[in-house]
Structure formats: structure tokens, C-alpha cells
């Protein structure tokens, strides 16, 4: 699925140059569930953003399938994000003024679907995370776990090839964490997704098929 070669990302922080990713080369096969761990500031989120075509590397390249995404213009990148990649964030990132159903619908924007089809698929996605009865609730009317399930529904409604989750259980208690991980794992199995989860939680990481450790911008396979 992902082929990453010599990936380097540097930032300017004042006069200092920060090397967030340092010559990273790694392959992630299609359908694999990968957990990425490492200390804060080690480059985990930067790596996930590279995988999600949200940022461009300073050096190296990333390909999804046979498409080198690091060379594509912004317009094409948003197309890839729209069709192939689903995102789940630690803070859920739902739009506060939209209800659950409308939040899920935002992911189908620009795909040329009719309103009815969008609505139907969004309801299905909400049902798949067990929230069909909360479709007209706004984020402020939902618990943290419910909000994250809406975010997961939004990520999977477009049937992506990849699901990228950045600390998806970071804001949840233990019970909710397991509930969310059950949902993600269930979707990964049923939809044969490639699932990449950035986490600090060893309990979450243990559920993955493969674990990568990122420290000081270097990636290593975890034992």
C-alpha cells in the first residue's frame, strides 16, 4: 500500500532547524494494522500527516499503490484525501454547528453524489458505529466516545483504502478507549482497510499487527 523511501522533513523553528523525520524508509502493505509509538515530539504526527498527504516532505517520496503522492499538485492531493484516505483525530474535530449526520456527510462532498445517496451512505456509516439514533444530535450533545464514533463514521463513509488515526483514544477513558478500538478493529477487518494508528497507549498498540517506533525522526520496528 504505502512505500516510503528516504523521507526527511525539516522545520524552521526560529533560527533552529528541527528534523522531524530523518531519512525514513518503510513499507506498509495493504490491509495491515500498524501502530506507531514513540515519545512526544518524536515525529509520529508528522509521519502520519505525510501518509495522509497533508504535508510534503523535504526529501524522499511516498507512494500509495503506484502513485507517488509527494509529486502531486495540491488539487490532486485533495482528490486523494477525498477518495482514498480517512482521518480520525484525537480531538474528534467535528464541526460544532452541524449535527452528526451532516458531519459525516462532509466527507462525501465533491464526490458528485446526490443528496439522497449522501444521506443514505452517511446513515449507514453512523449505523456501523452504532449511532444511527443520534444522527440529528450536535457534537455538544454527544459524549466523547460518541463524538469519536461520529468522526470514525466520517472517516469510513467514503470507503477509503487507508484509515489514519492520530491518538484516537487519547481523550477517552479506558472503557471508552476499548469501545473505540473495538469499532476501529471491526471496521479494519470488515472493510479490509489499511489502518495506521498513532498512539501512546500500549494497550492500543498491542492490538495492532505491527508496531513502529519513531524517535528523533527515525523509524524502527518495535519488538
Of 32 and 93, which has the nearer Cβ to other proteins?
93
Exposed e or buried b for every residue in 183-209, given b needs 16+ CB within 10 A? Answer: bbbebbeebebbbbbbbebeebbebbe
Helix 174-191 with 144-156: angle, nearest 10 deg? 10
Of 74 and 175, which has the nearer Cβ to other proteins?
74
Rounded to whole angstroms, the Cα distance separating 135 from 120 reads: 12
At residue 171, what are phi and psi to the nearest 5 degrees?
-105, 15
Closest CA to 184 of 205, 202, 214, 212: 205
Of 54 and 72, which has the nearer Cβ to other proteins?
54
Does residue number 109 form part of the binding site for other proteins (CB under 8 A)? yes
Site string for other proteins, 144-163 (x = CB under 8 A): ----------xx--x-----
Does residue number 96 form part of the binding site for other proteins (CB under 8 A)? yes
Coil, strand or helix at 127: helix
Q: According to CB under 8 A, which residues from 198 to 217 bind other proteins? A: none
Of 151 and 205, which has the nearer Cβ to other proteins?
151
The footprint of other proteins (CB under 8 A) covers: 45, 49, 52, 54-55, 74-75, 78-79, 81-83, 85-87, 89-91, 93, 95-98, 102, 105-107, 109-110, 115, 118, 154-155, 158, 166
Amino acid at each position: 500500500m504505502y512505500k516510503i523511501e528516504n523521507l526527511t522533513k525539516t522545520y524552521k523553528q526560529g533560527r533552529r532547524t528541527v528534523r522531524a523525520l530523518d531519512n525514513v524508509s518503510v513499507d506498509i502493505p495493504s490491509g495491515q494494522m500498524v501502530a506507531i509509538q514513540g515519545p512526544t515530539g518524536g515525529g509520529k504526527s508528522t509521519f502520519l500527516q505525510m501518509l495522509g498527504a497533508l504535508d510534503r516532505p523535504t526529501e524522499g517520496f511516498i507512494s500509495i499503490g503506484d502513485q507517488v503522492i509527494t509529486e502531486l499538485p495540491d488539487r490532486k492531493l485533495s482528490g486523494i484525501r477525498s477518495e482514498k484516505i480517512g482521518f480520525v483525530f484525537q480531538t474528534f474535530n467535528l464541526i460544532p454547528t452541524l449535527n452528526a449526520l451532516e458531519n459525516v456527510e462532509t466527507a462525501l462532498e465533491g464526490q458528485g453524489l446526490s443528496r439522497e445517496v449522501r444521506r443514505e451512505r452517511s446513515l449507514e456509516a453512523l449505523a456501523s458505529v452504532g449511532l444511527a439514533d443520534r444522527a440529528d444530535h450536535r457534537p455538544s450533545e454527544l459524549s466523547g466516545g460518541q463524538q469519536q464514533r461520529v468522526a470514525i463514521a466520517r472517516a469510513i463513509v467514503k470507503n477509503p483504502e487507508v484509515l489514519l488515526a492520530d491518538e484516537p483514544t487519547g481523550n477517552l477513558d479506558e472503557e471508552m478507549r476499548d469501545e473505540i478500538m473495538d469499532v476501529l478493529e471491526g471496521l479494519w477487518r470488515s472493510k479490509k482497510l489499511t489502518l495506521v494508528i498513532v498512539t501512546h497507549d500500549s494497550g492500543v498498540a498491542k492490538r495492532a499487527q505491527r508496531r513502529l517506533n519513531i524517535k528523533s525522526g527515525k523509524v524502527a520496528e518495535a519488538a
